[in-house]
Chains A and B, each alone.
Chain A
């Protein structure tokens, strides 16, 4: 039956992630941004508490946890520093493409070494618009932006297939709009050898769905942080004789921001539970991403607004969250790609939200 309680293990995991995020990431977010990466001690701590191999199969030494666990952890990390979250996760959503489309052996051969080399990055890039051409086992093209300064493994995903490249990757550093703690680069391939190429439309779609949920969970964290921070600020800041939060215009705005966060979270969790049950979750994941991206575009600019001129200054984190939310919403085909996938079946469906139909 419908149940919103978290299992105690997941509750514990979330606490662990929250504590790490708030103590190890949040206080250093500007340093990470400047350094375009996290320090070794932070990375070691992340690996030590098991967050680096969260969904990695147990048989291969990982924690073997599911989508809900991942979503909970990412919300916590995103609430502290989404850029750091990306750079700390050696496989990131690239794992989904490898796991959904490659065989177990390939997963082990290609991905395992990254887990063992601290600081490695596998990066998933959406190639739905064929920025990279794949011909005769070679890849050529330019990806205008990836949130990474180092790419050990590039995993290209399109609607039907996954291509894996680990040689001949040229990066040119960029300033990046957001997520700078993860780095920012333009990526060029000029006839780079394709190490593996798997055609598997179902797997590719599922990988995309999981990647979207990954981004949605980070977005959720970012907007939660922005909503919470700006609310606390509004209780301190006094204008016209009372805390600005007590002017109804702002009280209602703050309320709407809280609702935006809660609603997005419910969609993320519902999609994650669907994934974990092995059900059809592509539409649910696209929907969750879309909502999170749109609501983050409502919440984070308003968080800046609530801080007024101070919000615009980099002494406060809200401007960073606004940039990060914007950048995350551009990943994996962005909101329009998600809109396409979320809405594809809606006209044909007979009862798109029927209580007896829409069961995970």
Chain B
């Protein structure tokens, strides 16, 4: 057992720290004041590309088969030989996510790259689809984004209830419906859109399509006004008789259709979605830890500047906050480590996701409390963190949904 971060990763974290201090946090504060997302043409994004960020983790081409063979549901096994010497991809992702979110979670989500659209393309896509949709993210000529759209006005937690329909029409599918809150959607090259072929089938009827930006019928992009995390866009849009080439159905027909009767196989489409959640839950948890840690640092600094260090009431609450964040971080690490070991992590990932946002919210609430009326002014970083953090308990499965996921494993809580 070991809790040390290796030197290579420490270097990367130090790099993020520098970028965070000089660029990410100022940009986040600026976007927050302006009340709108960072412009896609902002030079910061070009800088990120120069730094080697904003890319896909797909290895591409001939390496694809190898990656397929070794990839677990949530990442690939640690490279570089023996266990324990080098962080696997999930742990790496968790550590980098925490540090990025520490500086600004909103800006971090606005980073170019395939984003949440990548996991379903990686796990369900055919080699041709990966080539078509991910290749451009290997050495991007300019900042490019992917997006992921599951949520609808009438279906969030209850993903089985999505109503966006897909109907086969020759060598196309026709998509009709409304999607809500998809990150980076209006600037994206393509959006992974979840639709249903038959609402009476529930999850078994789900299909995932990659819808490219200029597809006729895709439109009405509305960048939502949010309480926080203003640096990236959460965008609602519509699909109106939107014709999508059949080749953009992720995994191809076979993935969904030829298994009538077998319930498990019929739910392949839905499982693809869950799989992508599985990959990201510990990462969302880590982001919450990052936000909470920023609040903790600010709160401690405020206490220092105002000579509150000897007040046990202040100290005790700071201690508790740090303790809960530390637990949260360890839960995230454990879930990610399990993923890297290709061990099941359903319970652990949900625990991380259930615990971290609550701990982080507490950190910001305490920070506001210590600041008192200074917090109410609305111009302190803690106040922004306090508005940012709440989303972490909502996205990628709410806290309640994580409880349900865990309870299914612990006590076999039935699905209605």
With beta carbons under 8 angstroms apart, the residue of B4, B329, B333 that contacts A360 is: B4
Q: A3 to B83, Cβ gap below 8 A?
A: yes
Q: A346 to B322, Cβ gap below 8 A?
A: yes
Q: How far is the CA of A63 from the CA of B271 in the complex (A)?
A: 49
Q: B84 to A3, Cβ gap below 8 A?
A: yes
The residues of A that contact B9 with a CB separation of less than 8 Å are 1
Given known A262-B331, A356-B14, contact A246–B414 (CB-CB < 8 A): yes
Q: A287 to B326, Cβ gap below 8 A?
A: yes
Q: B411 to A254, Cβ gap below 8 A?
A: yes
Q: A352 to B4, Cβ gap below 8 A?
A: no
B13 within 8 A of A: yes
Q: How far is the CA of A264 from the CA of B327 in the complex (A)?
A: 7
With beta carbons under 8 angstroms apart, the residue of A270, A343, A351 that contacts B316 is: A343
With beta carbons under 8 angstroms apart, the residue of A258, A266, A291, A339 that contacts B410 is: A258
Minimum CB–CB distance for B281 against chain A, Å = 14
A68 within 8 A of B: yes
Q: Is the interface of A mostly helix, strand, loop or mixed?
A: helix
B142 within 8 A of A: no
Most chain B CB atoms below 10 A, which of A262, A346, A348:
A346
The residues of A that contact B334 with a CB separation of less than 8 Å are 4, 266
Q: How far is the CA of A84 from the CA of B314 in the complex (A)?
A: 39
The residues of B that contact A353 with a CB separation of less than 8 Å are 293, 296-297, 322, 325-326, 329
Q: Which of B254-312 contact A (CB under 8 A)?
A: 293, 296-297, 300, 303-304, 308-309, 312
Q: A342 to B83, Cβ gap below 8 A?
A: no
With beta carbons under 8 angstroms apart, the residue of A245, A264, A360 that contacts B413 is: A245
Given known A251-B403, A353-B296, A355-B95, contact A2–B326 (CB-CB < 8 A): no
Given known A346-B322, A347-B300, contact A2–B351 (CB-CB < 8 A): no
With beta carbons under 8 angstroms apart, the residue of B312, B355, B411 that contacts A231 is: B411
Q: B304 to A347, Cβ gap below 8 A?
A: yes
A112 within 8 A of B: no
B315 within 8 A of A: yes
Minimum CB–CB distance for B11 against chain A, Å = 10
The residues of A that contact B403 with a CB separation of less than 8 Å are 251-252, 255-256
Q: B300 to A346, Cβ gap below 8 A?
A: yes
A234 within 8 A of B: yes
With beta carbons under 8 angstroms apart, the residue of B319, B326, B337, B414 that contacts A343 is: B319
B387 within 8 A of A: no
Q: How far is the CA of A235 from the CA of B412 in the complex (A)?
A: 9
Q: B319 to A346, Cβ gap below 8 A?
A: yes
Q: How far is the CA of A252 from the CA of B325 in the complex (A)?
A: 21
Chain A interface residue count, CB cutoff 8 Å, equals 53
Q: Is the interface of B mostly helix, strand, loop or mixed?
A: helix
Minimum CB–CB distance for B369 against chain A, Å = 15
The residues of B that contact A355 with a CB separation of less than 8 Å are 5, 13, 95, 98-99
Q: How far is the CA of A287 from the CA of B329 in the complex (A)?
A: 14
Given known A246-B413, A254-B407, contact A273–B2 (CB-CB < 8 A): yes
Minimum CB–CB distance for B108 against chain A, Å = 15
The contact string, 1 if C-beta is below 8 Å from chain A, for chain B 1-15, is 111111001100110
Q: A1 to B87, Cβ gap below 8 A?
A: yes
Q: How far is the CA of A339 from the CA of B334 in the complex (A)?
A: 26
Q: B296 to A1, Cβ gap below 8 A?
A: no
Most chain A CB atoms below 10 A, which of B1, B309, B316, B326:
B1
The residues of A that contact B323 with a CB separation of less than 8 Å are 267, 287, 290-291, 342
Q: How far is the CA of A273 from the CA of B351 in the complex (A)?
A: 23
Q: How far is the CA of A229 from the CA of B231 in the complex (A)?
A: 47
A359 within 8 A of B: yes
Q: How far is the CA of A291 from the CA of B355 in the complex (A)?
A: 14
A259 within 8 A of B: yes
Q: How far is the CA of A3 from the CA of B327 in the complex (A)?
A: 16
The residues of A that contact B57 with a CB separation of less than 8 Å are none
Q: A356 to B17, Cβ gap below 8 A?
A: yes
Q: How far is the CA of A251 from the CA of B404 in the complex (A)?
A: 8
Q: How far is the CA of A350 from the CA of B309 in the complex (A)?
A: 13
Nearest residue, chain A, Cβ from B325: A353
Q: How far is the CA of A293 from the CA of B314 in the complex (A)?
A: 21
Q: Which of A188-232 contact B (CB under 8 A)?
A: 231
The contact string, 1 if C-beta is below 8 Å from chain B, for chain A 1-21, is 111111100100000000000
The residues of A that contact B226 with a CB separation of less than 8 Å are none
Q: How far is the CA of A5 from the CA of B85 in the complex (A)?
A: 13
Q: How far is the CA of A291 from the CA of B87 in the complex (A)?
A: 28
Minimum CB–CB distance for B75 against chain A, Å = 14
Q: Which of B81-95 contact A (CB under 8 A)?
A: 83-87, 91, 95
A269 within 8 A of B: yes
Q: A351 to B297, Cβ gap below 8 A?
A: yes
Q: A273 to B1, Cβ gap below 8 A?
A: yes
The residues of A that contact B312 with a CB separation of less than 8 Å are 340, 343
The residues of B that contact A10 with a CB separation of less than 8 Å are 1
Q: How far is the CA of A348 from the CA of B297 in the complex (A)?
A: 10
Q: Which of A60-96 contact B (CB under 8 A)?
A: 68
Given known A1-B84, A259-B354, A291-B323, contact A359–B1 (CB-CB < 8 A): no
Q: How far is the CA of A348 from the CA of B334 in the complex (A)?
A: 29
Most chain B CB atoms below 10 A, which of A1, A264, A266, A353:
A1
Q: A246 to B1, Cβ gap below 8 A?
A: no
A141 within 8 A of B: no
Minimum CB–CB distance for A209 against chain B, Å = 15
Minimum CB–CB distance for B229 against chain A, Å = 21
Given known A251-B407, A347-B303, contact A352–B322 (CB-CB < 8 A): yes
Enumerate the 7 nearest inter-chain pairs by beta-carbon distance, A residue then B residue, closest first: A343-B319, A347-B309, A266-B330, A245-B411, A251-B407, A263-B327, A343-B315
Q: List 12 A-B contacts (CB under 8 A).
A: A1-B87, A3-B83, A246-B412, A251-B403, A259-B354, A267-B330, A290-B319, A346-B300, A347-B308, A352-B296, A353-B293, A356-B17
Residues of chain A whose beta carbon lies under 8 Å from any beta carbon of chain B: 1-7, 10, 68, 231, 234-235, 243, 245-246, 248, 251-252, 254-256, 258-259, 262-264, 266-267, 269-270, 273-274, 287, 290-291, 339-340, 342-344, 346-356, 359-360
